[in-house]
Amino acid sequence: AEGVQTKKDIMTVALNPSELGGFQSHRIDAVKLSSKVPGSPAHTYISVTGDLPSQTIPAAIGGSALGSLIAQPTGDGEVNMITMTGPVIATHYLDRTLHWDQVGIDRRTQAIKFITIGYTQQLAYRKTDGSYSIWRDRSSSTWLTAYVAKIFGMAYQLITIEEDVLCSALKWLVLNTQQPEGIFKENSPVLHGEIMGGVRGRDSDASLTAYVLIAMQESRHICEERVENLSDSMRKASRFLSRRMHSLTNPYAVALTAYALANEGQHQLDTLFHFSYGETHWPVPGSHLSTLEATAYALMALVKAKEIAQAGLVVKWLTKQKFHNRGYGSTQAMVTVLQALALHRMEAHSVRDIDLQVSLHVAGRSKPVKWSFVRDSDYVTRTERVVTVYNALPEERREDCKNFELTVKLEKEPKVTSQNALETYRLSIEMRYLSPERDATMSILDITMLTGFIADKKDLNRLTSGKDRYVQKIETDKQLSEKGSIVFYLDKVSHKQSDRVVFRMHKTNRVGLLQPAAVTVYEYNSLENRCVKFYHPEKEGGALNRICHEDVCRCAEEDCSYQKKQQVTDLDREIAACEAGMDYVYKATVVHANLSHSIDRFTILVEDIIKEATSSGEMCPLLYSKAVDCGAV
């Protein structure tokens, strides 16, 4: 099909009829799709679940966003932990919410395998004293060691993790990083600073101390007897945070500290709510991701304080937060949001009751669709086919690029260099991070393949080999689109000069109507920093093609209408108009034309109705669309 498959979220509605006298009604109007490819189908789905958190993670293109977290870990001592976090937190969340059906029951086995791989790989960056750094010869990092302990602690119930590996990390933190007043000090900051989330912001002394304390709290049941003075260390950190709490000015630090203290039975709710907005979320100026993370910490603090009703308002706010249909953008936001939602579901589910009857009335159907939700089945999602999925016309917009400069060029090679290939092309991609101060950290280059094309394997292997390799890892993803994608993992994207990725593509099959393909570059931990460009072998941005032989051309679009070149009389027209299959006949004037590189749209004013359509009777302006290449036939 022509165009780019697009999903459009319309609305999220919270159903709570008990607050409205026992009855609640919502009208959902039909979606207006101005950019839909003419003649292509569009489907609308309405889903209802009695378990609010289950809908907080939006569906990604071709599969679940949670499923996309289940990927094999790779990289250095920091990047490996970033990529190991995905399968760990996804398994943690799905186990507690009973939602493995969203990604496939078989994916749990795969997730456990990837967690084991990540754990084994991380041991290569473990030092003899139990600490960690990005490389073995670099000074140990307080934050990274605490983060490893946190993730290993979550994975402890999933795979075999040696207690000494987990507890020696906490022991190192106690002996080497804690100051007499209780604060934990960082002597060797991580290189991929974005993985820290909001910890590195204002009031970082309290944030780092609270973060380390939480890592200790979550593994206390495993390591308390193995690490001497662990309890004393935690008490000292707790006393420092109690004193520091009332002088904090950063909402993130307040929420993080409140959760750390709540784990110790100290509930600082007045101070916590003072930094909230409407007691629903905790805004961090300049960072939506830090806002998500802070709100998740605040949610966990409320759950620990048994403020379940108040926590429900926070969960409702989180359910409305969508982020590029790929879940929550940063590693820390992803971890804390999913951890908080899982904790809330476990606590809230034990105290609440639910009895919800839902009727869905659809125009044109004689009977409504009826669903029933009770406590034992509230996590089951019911879906009716009535997010709208459709094919959108490819248009490169300025807003498609934020903080990245991206150039994509596809050129035909003079020689075919692959056996059984019809043609060979060279795809050249240049990108630069638009920051005056820093390079983009770990980034993803996602290349959708053209239908009927394959990438040259030798070129891909060359990009990931050699001492000065630029691409760290390449994956092929058949779930992201029907055509498949090639995903490049980049350690960084330079802000000083353009980085270049070049490889050959071979055309192996002829396709009558070749649709455009997208190239996307984005920063792994800041998905708002991204850029999208389209490419096509003959037309810029995915315009359609004519199939030509010498001087005679025909449109590649099967549904093109052809002008009758032979002599046609009025009687011929009258006979044709009355034939079955001729829906309508109008005499009209074009009053406006909107021309693009792929589809032309014309607004026409009907002057005379010769044959009336079943859906129209008024002479109002109508919209007529046609493929650009059809007009040249």
Residue 60 has what pLDDT? Answer: 29
Query: Which of 353, 382, 413 delimits the end of a domain?
Result: 353
Read off the pLDDT band of 259 (50, 70, 90): very high
Cα–Cα distance, 376 to 350 (Å, whole number):
11
pLDDT for position 275: 96
Residues 592 and 533 in one domain: no
Strand partners, 488: 445, 474
Each residue of 207-252: pLDDT tens digit?
Answer: 999 999 999 999 999 999 999 999 999 999 999 999 999 999 999 9
Q: Are strands 401-402 and 443-448 parallel, antiparallel or unpaired?
A: unpaired
Residue 569 has a pLDDT of: 81
Q: Per-residue confidence at 193, pLDDT binned at 50, 70, 90? A: confident
Per-residue b/e over 8-36, b at no fewer than 16 CB within 10 Å?
eeeeeeeeeeeeeeeeeeeeeeeeeeebb
Q: Same domain for 160 and 277?
A: yes
CATH number, domain with residue 502: 2.60.40.690
Amino acid at site 219: S
Residue 134 above 80 pLDDT?
yes
Mean pLDDT of the region 537-552: 50
Is residue 34 assigned to a domain?
no
Whether 472 and 567 map to the same domain: the answer is: no
Does one domain contain both 342 and 449?
no
Per-residue confidence band for 334, with pLDDT thresholds at 50, 70 and 90: confident
Report pLDDT for 9: 62
Question: How many percent of the chain have pLDDT more than 70?
Answer: 75
**344 DSSP 8-state letter:** H
What is the predicted pLDDT for the residue at 379?
46
Q: Which of 353, 375, 408 is the last residue of a domain?
A: 353
Average pLDDT over residues 145-168: 96
Same domain, 409 and 313: no
The pLDDT of residue 40 is 66
- Shared domain check, 594 and 513: no
pLDDT the model gives residue 629? 54
The model's pLDDT over 81-117, given as tens digits with 9 standing for 90+, comes to 989 998 999 899 888 877 787 788 889 999 999 999 9
Q: Is residue 58 in some structural domain? A: yes
d(CA 273, CA 391): 45
Q: Check whether residue 465 and residue 600 sit in a common domain.
A: no
Q: Which domain holds residue 625?
A: 560-632
For 29, residues 6+ apart whose C-beta sits below 8 A from its C-beta are none
Nearest to 109 by CA among 63, 60, 151, 158: 158
Helix (H) or strand (E) holding 347: helix 331-349
Give the three-class secondary structure for 203: coil
Amino acid at 331: T
The listed range with the strongest mean pLDDT (1-10, 54-63, 159-168, 611-620) is 159-168
Statement: residue 620 has pLDDT above 80: no
In terms of Cβ atoms closer than 10 Å to its own Cβ (0-12, 13-18, 19+), residue 150 is buried
The alpha-helical segments, DSSP class H, found in 350-439 are none
Tokens of 319: 């359910």
Looking at the domain assignment, is residue 42 inside a domain? no
Q: d(Cα 2, Cα 5) in Å, to the nearest integer?
A: 9
Average pLDDT of the chain, as a whole number? 80
CA 505 to chain centre: 27
Residue 502 has pLDDT above 60, yes or no: yes
Strand residues in 9-117 grouped as ranges (E): 42-43, 45-48, 59-60, 63-64
Distance CA 531, CA 520 (A): 6
34's CB contacts (< 8 A; 6+ apart) are none
The per-residue pLDDT for 118 is 96
404 beta partners: 433
Instruction: Report residue 71's pLDDT band, with 50, 70 and 90 as the boundaries.
Output: confident
Query: Residue 599: is its pLDDT beyond 70?
Result: no
Same domain, 567 and 511: no
Cβ atoms 632, 546 nearer than 8 A: yes
13 belongs to a structural domain? no
CA dihedral 184, 190, 194, 200 (to 10 degrees): 30
- Residue 12 domain-assigned? no
Residue 25 backbone phi and psi in degrees, to 5? -135, 140
Which long-range CB contacts under 8 A does 310-313 form with residues at least 24 apart? 310/279, 311/344, 311/348, 312/52, 312/348, 313/279, 313/280
Residue at 19 is within a domain: no
In 3-state terms the chain splits into helix, strand, coil percentages (rounded to 5) of 35, 25, 40
Cβ(400)–Cβ(532) below 8 Å: yes
Whether pLDDT at 476 is above 80: no
pLDDT, residue 618, reads 52
> Are both 201 and 327 inside the same structural domain?
yes
Position 385 in a domain: no
Q: What is the pLDDT of residue 322?
A: 57
Q: What is the pLDDT of residue 587?
A: 83
Q: Tell me: the pLDDT tens digits for 264-311? A: 999 999 999 999 999 999 999 888 889 999 999 999 999 999 998 899
Together in a domain, 412 and 347 = no
Q: Are residues 130 and 233 in the same domain?
A: yes
User: In CATH, what number is assigned to the domain containing residue 136?
Assistant: 1.50.10.20
Q: Are 522 and 529 in contact (CB under 8 A)?
A: yes
What average pLDDT does this structure show over 510-531? Answer: 79
- Which pLDDT does position 58 carry in this prediction? 38
Instruction: Read off φ and ψ for residue 161, nearest 5 degrees.
Output: -120, 125
Q: How far apart are CA 234 and CA 244, in angstroms?
A: 15
For residue 46, which of 357, 379, 391, 381 has the smallest C-alpha distance? 381
- Could you say which DSSP state residue 37 is in? P
| Mean pLDDT of the 57-62 span | 34
Range with the poorest average pLDDT among 4-13, 155-164, 453-462:
4-13
**Number of domains present in the structure of the chain:** 3
Backbone angles phi, psi at 125, to 5 degrees: -105, 10
Q: Across the strands, what pairs with 294?
A: none
pLDDT at 350: 56
Choosing from 485, 508, 542, the residue where a domain stops is 542
Q: What CA–CA distances, in Å, run from 87 to 94, 112, 115, 218, 470?
A: 10, 8, 6, 18, 26
d(CA 297, CA 303): 10
Same domain for 489 and 348: no
Alpha-carbon Rg for the chain, nearest whole angstrom, is 29
